[in-house]
Amino acid sequence: MKAFIGLIGRSTYIDQTFAIDATVKSDYFTHSKYVALKTKDALVDQFRNRSGQRPNVDTESPDLRLHIHIFNEQCTVSLDSSGASLHLRGYKTESHAAPISELMAAGLLLMAGWKGQCEFLDPMCGSGTIPIEAYMIARQIPANIHRREFAFMRWSDFDSAMFKNCREELMKAVKPLSYPIKGADKDFSSVKKARLHVDACAYDEIEIIQADFLKSEKSTEGELFILMNPPYDERISIDTQAFYEGIGNTLKRHYAGTEAWMITANQEAIKFIGLKPGKKMKVFNGPLEARLLKFEIYSGSRKKIENDFKI
């Protein structure tokens, strides 16, 4: 503990503020607030003994945040280097009725095998999270490059020149975009939000349009990769059967040559799609148990190519 307080001493100026979060699960310590209070006293005493001065506590926006985790007899003290949760990538300013988190969108895209290999569409893009994350993966843009603040930036030993160099090195690996990336939504207020988020990143190559997926058709001759996050009839109400039947019919009739992925937490709805998923993976969207589903919609030409290969 003493060594750790010493480390904090090196990372903090006396005029900086700090806060302590505590989580406890132990027979000895039953009140997290008490543990946080005692840790604060220990930290303050160390400073006062050494310099006669003490740093102040700021629970809202501290310069330094410490976490104390006690599990039975084991105590872990850690210094928070991130600050606000890392899923907050820094480009989302607008709220949506049923958004997916940036981290979840990126994770689903990677699970689905997205790497920028063909044209991409999220036909129910809401505030634009999936197209933006798909774009970043396709171009190998580092996650969190748009984030302005990390907690470590307030540490006294933060080396801003080294941080700038690291960012520049990472940006050297960014590739040009090979295929279009599109998002669409039926609801114009969602379209406006998605466009604002795309603009915040200055990703002019992402196209966001207003369109009803159930009345749409594939607009590219080439292969298409879809990842969609349709309403679950939780936060956005739908006629579940008609809506999911509509998705299945639209894919079957108008999206030949598409690898379509969908995340839904409405398990009942899956049977209405009327397509057999090639893959079905259990995932959690926040607290909701969901499924990530893959539907291969083959085109005549693709079957022909496969047959040609067999000959």
Ligand X SMILES: C[S@@+](CC[C@H](N)C(=O)[O-])C[C@H]1O[C@@H](n2cnc3c(N)ncnc32)[C@H](O)[C@@H]1O
Q: What's the token pair of residue 241?
A: 């059967």
Q: Quick check: 100 binds ligand X (CB under 6 A)?
A: yes
Cβ 240 to ligand X shortest distance, Å = 12
In the chain, % helix, strand, coil (3-state, to 5) comes to 40, 20, 40
Cβ 214 to ligand X shortest distance, Å = 5
Residue 237, C-beta contacts closer than 8 angstroms, at least 6 positions apart? 231
Nearest CB to ligand X, comparing residues 12 and 190? 190
> Token match 């997205």: residue?
114
**Of 244, 258, 288, 229, which is closest to residue 96 (Cα–Cα)?**
229
Size, binding site for ligand X by CB under 6 A = 22
Nearest CB to ligand X, comparing residues 68 and 106? 106
Q: How far is residue 294's CA from residue 56's CA, in Å, rounded to a whole number?
A: 53
Give every strand in the sheet of 181-185, ordered side by side.
206-210, 181-185, 119-122, 224-228, 258-264, 288-297, 279-285
**Of 264, 272, 265, which is closest to residue 244 (Cα–Cα)?**
272
Between the alpha carbon of residue 183 and those of residues 11, 45, 180, 186, the distances in Å are 44, 55, 10, 11
Nearest CB to ligand X, comparing residues 18 and 225? 225
Nearest CB to ligand X, comparing residues 121 and 138? 121
Nearest CB to ligand X, comparing residues 98 and 145? 98
The stretch near ligand X (CB under 6 A) out of 108-116, 181-189, 217-225, 296-304 is 181-189
Which positions from 193 through 222 interact with ligand X, judged by CB under 6 A? 212-214
SS (H, E, C) 218-262: CCCCCCEEEEECCCCCCCCCCCHHHHHHHHHHHHHHHCCCEEEEE
CA dihedral over 207, 209, 214, 220, signed as positive or negative: negative
Q: Which of 40, 96, 154, 182 binds ligand X (CB under 6 A)?
A: 96
Which positions from 149 through 178 interact with ligand X, judged by CB under 6 A? none
Nearest CB to ligand X, comparing residues 80 and 212? 212
For residues 219 to 258, the per-residue mask of contacts with ligand X, x marking binding by CB under 6 A and - elsewhere, is ----------xxx----x----------------------
Q: How far is CA 116 from the centre of its chain?
A: 18
Q: Which of 185, 206, 244, 264 binds ligand X (CB under 6 A)?
A: 185
Cβ 216 to ligand X shortest distance, Å = 8
Q: How far is residue 111's CA from residue 35's CA, in Å, rounded to a whole number?
A: 40
Nearest CB to ligand X, comparing residues 35 and 206? 206
Q: Which of 87, 186, 254, 279 binds ligand X (CB under 6 A)?
A: 186
For residues 101 to 130, the per-residue mask of contacts with ligand X, x marking binding by CB under 6 A and - elsewhere, is ----------------------xxxxx-xx
Give, rounded to a whole angstrom, the gap between the first and last alpha carbons of the chain. Answer: 70
Which positions from 51 through 70 interact with ligand X, judged by CB under 6 A? none
Nearest CB to ligand X, comparing residues 11 and 264? 264
Contact set with ligand X (CB under 6 A): 96, 98-100, 123-127, 129-130, 185-187, 190, 212-214, 229-231, 236
